Structure formats: C-alpha cells, structure tokens
C-alpha cells in the first residue's frame, strides 16, 4: 500500500498524485480522464474510463464441448456478470438445445441470436431493478413450500405433489443464481453496489443466506423423490417426520427473519440451540431404525432424517450469519 499527501492547488482544489507504476500499468498519461467514485465507507475508487476492452461482453468457442459443458459455460458466464454472451456452437443442434434450455433457467436474459452456429444472449435486467431483500424473501417462500409439499407427498404417497415440489427447485435455483450474479458483479463493477443499495459486506451476508436456502431446496427435492419408495402410512418414524420437519423449518424461518428484519439477535441464538436439540431427537429416531423390519425402508427413512437434519443445520448456519451481521453493525 502506498500513501500520498494531500496538496492544496490554486487555493481551492485538493490534489493527490497517482502512483507512477499503477499509471504505467494502465496506460494513464497526462490529459487522460479518470472516473472517481466515492463509496459510503469513505473509500474513493479511481478507475480508468477506457482501457480498450468491453468488460461486460464475452465470446466463447464451445464447438468442441458437449451439451453438459455448454450448460456449465453459460451458467458460469452469467454468474460472473457478463451482460452480452456469444457462444460459437459449431453447427451442433444438441448444443443449441442445451443453450436454449439453460437460458430459460436464468433471470433477466433475452436471446438475441440463435442458430446451430452461434447463440447470443443479453441481460435486460439492471441492478437498480433488483431487490436483494425481496429476492431472498421470495426464495425462502419457494423453499418453504417445497419442504411442506415434499413431506406431505412422502407421508401421503402423493406422486403428483412430489413432482410439483421438485419442479419448484428450478425457481429456487434461478433466484440463487441471480443473487450470486449480483454479488460477483459488485466485486468488479463499482456502480453495482450503489444500485443494489447494499454495501459489499451486506451483499455477502445475503448471498450466504441464499446459498443455505438453495441447499435446503435441494434436500426438499430429495425428499420429494423418495415419496414413492415408502409405505409411509404406518410406523412410528413416519408419524414423527412432519413434526421433525416443522421444527427444522421453524429454525430456518426464525434465523432468516433476524437477517432480513433485524429481529433481536437472541432469536438467532435460540435457533442454534433449537437445532442442537432437534439433531439429538433425530439421532434417537435414527437409532430406532436398527429394529425396522424392512431394511430397504429403514435405509430410505434414514435418508429422509438426514435431509431434515441438514435443513436444520443450514438454518443454524443462517443464524450464525445473523449473529455475525448483528456484531458487524454494533461493533465494526
């Protein structure tokens, strides 16, 4: 880190010299224009206005890739924050279908060109139209509905409800990808932070919450996929599953409210304690599986109990984030 002394020029203007090495590396010479961007935390960002590259555009040759690799490439470029993405597909219809399918799972993307040779998409969503808080709330509502429907489908052997719960995972993934994109862009696009109306620490906290919620959605999808593998109409364990799941959802809900609504931090501490108590009860249920007459069902019940435990643990992770956020606001 270098330091510079502030000079008074002409009696009215403060000036600071630029490090010569930095100026040489970025091609800055006398007479060039620089962008100065004040931040709420007191920092002043100095940025070269034109370095000859369009940071928001990317063209990638995927002609040697298969459909799975094309999906990964599109998702990665979207997450990184590129606004204009062109893929060279190499006249491959399978890759074109993969590109179309992947684009449908991304928020705010418009297809500009699509044929077997080239596929171009563009982001039509500006950061000032994204509410990070509302996106988290929406994600939590989706995940909560998935959990409830997945457990109901399991207990009632309802294949249609299970399929509906699993389908919602795509919506959860879309919101998680959007929030991840917002965080990644905020690291390199300085105006993004002001548009999103969060500082970087807050954005990171919200991203962490979104990550935990997305994982909870994955476990709800897993439970839904087991709905036809069990005769869950009988048995002590199957009768206990809705109650255990309800407690796990309460932990997640309480912790998320502390982050989003600035509820008292004691609620977060209580959520962590509730998680420990729930895990102890789940362990008791897990041990009872050793006496189950059907080893296949016992194994499947064990997977369900594990997913409920993971849900509670992810809720406790959100509670940890809430505690960190509290002390950042009160002591940082």
Q: What are phi and psi of 324, to 5 degrees?
A: -60, -45
pLDDT at 52: 44
pLDDT per residue, tens digit, the chain (332 aa), is 788 899 888 778 899 999 888 889 888 888 888 888 777 667 788 877 754 444 589 999 999 999 999 999 999 999 999 999 999 998 889 999 999 999 999 999 999 988 878 899 999 888 888 999 999 999 999 999 999 999 999 988 889 999 999 999 999 999 999 999 998 888 877 777 778 888 888 999 999 999 999 999 999 999 999 987 776 555 667 788 999 999 999 999 999 999 998 789 999 999 999 999 999 999 998 888 877 667 777 888 899 999 999 999 999 999 999 999 999 988 77
Alpha carbons 245 and 241: distance in angstroms, whole number = 6
**What one-character DSSP code corresponds to residue 11?**
T
Q: What are phi and psi of 117, to 5 degrees?
A: -95, -35
pLDDT tens digit string along 260-281? 987 899 999 999 999 999 999 9
The dotted CATH code for 57-127 is 3.30.110
Alpha carbons 258 and 275: distance in angstroms, whole number = 16
pLDDT at 228: 77
| Domain ranges, ordered by start, for the chain | 7-48, 57-127, 131-326
The dotted CATH code for 131-326 is 1.20.58.220
What 3-state class would DSSP assign to 35?
strand
pLDDT at 293: 62
- For residue 182, give the H/E element and its range: helix 169-188
User: DSSP letter string over 134-171?
Assistant: HHHHHHHHHHHHHHHHHHHHHHHT-HHHHHHHHHTHHH
Non-local CB neighbours of 262 within 8 Å, separated by 6+ positions: none
Tokens 């060039």 belong to which residue? 32
pLDDT tens digit string along 98-145? 999 999 999 999 999 888 788 999 998 888 889 999 999 999 999 999
Q: What is the pTM of this model?
A: 0.84
């Amino acid at each position: 880190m270098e330091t510079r002394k502030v000079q008074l020029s002409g009696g009215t203007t403060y000036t600071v010299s630029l490090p010569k090495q930095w100026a040489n590396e970025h091609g800055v010479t006398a007479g060039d224009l620089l962008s100065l961007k004040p931040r709420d935390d007191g920092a002043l960002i100095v940025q070269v206005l034109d370095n000859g590259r369009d940071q928001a555009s990317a063209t990638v040759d995927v002609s040697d890739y298969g459909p799975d690799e094309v999906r990964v490439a599109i998702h990665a470029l979207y997450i990184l924050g590129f606004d204009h993405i062109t893929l060279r597909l190499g006249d491959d219809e399978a890759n074109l279908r993969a590109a179309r399918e992947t684009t449908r799972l991304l928020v705010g993307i418009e297809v500009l060109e699509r044929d077997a040779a080239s596929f171009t998409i563009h982001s039509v969503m500006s950061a000032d139209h994204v509410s990070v808080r509302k996106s988290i709330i929406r994600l939590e509502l989706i995940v909560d509905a998935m959990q409830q429907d997945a457990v109901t489908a399991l207990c009632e052997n309802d294949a249609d409800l299970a399929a509906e719960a699993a389908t919602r995972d795509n919506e959860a993934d879309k919101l998680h990808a959007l929030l991840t994109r917002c965080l990644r862009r905020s690291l390199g696009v300085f105006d993004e932070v002001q548009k999103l109306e969060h500082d970087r620490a807050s954005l990171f906290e919200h991203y962490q919450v979104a990550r935990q919620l997305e994982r909870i959605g994955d476990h709800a999808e897993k439970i839904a996929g087991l709905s036809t593998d069990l005769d869950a109409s009988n048995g002590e364990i199957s009768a206990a599953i809705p109650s255990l799941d309800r407690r796990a959802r309460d932990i997640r809900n309480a912790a998320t409210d502390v982050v989003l609504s600035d509820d008292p931090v004691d609620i977060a501490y209580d959520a962590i304690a509730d998680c420990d108590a729930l895990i102890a009860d789940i362990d008791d249920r897990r041990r009872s599986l050793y006496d189950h007459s059907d080893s296949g069902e016992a194994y499947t019940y064990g997977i369900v109990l594990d997913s409920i435990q993971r849900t509670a643990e992810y809720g406790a992770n959100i509670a940890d984030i809430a505690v960190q956020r509290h002390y950042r606001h009160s002591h940082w």
